[in-house]
Amino acid sequence: MVAEVDGVRLTELVARLPPYPGGEDEALAEIERRARAIPIEEAWNVDRFLEAWTPIVAGIAAAIQGEEDAAAWVEQRLSAADRHSPALTGALRQVMIGEWNENLLEGLNPAERAVIGAIVDELARAHEARPAAD
pLDDT tens per residue, range 93-134 = 999 988 888 889 999 988 899 999 999 888 888 878 777 665
Q: Could you write out the DSSP letters of every residue in the chain? A: -GGGSTT--HHHHHHHSPPPTT-HHHHHHHHHHHHHHS-HHHHHTHHHHHHHHHHHHHHHHHHHTT-HHHHHHHHHHHHHHTTT-HHHHHHHHHHHTT---TTTTTT--HHHHHHHHHHHHHHHHHHHHSPPP-
- The tens digit of pLDDT for each residue in 34-93 reads 777 777 666 667 888 899 999 999 999 999 888 889 999 999 999 999 998 999 999 999
What is the pLDDT at residue 1?
56
What is the pLDDT at residue 45?
79
What is the pLDDT at residue 5?
63
- The tens digit of pLDDT for each residue in 2-26 reads 556 666 676 777 677 677 787 777 7
What is the pLDDT at residue 78?
95
What is the pLDDT at residue 38?
72
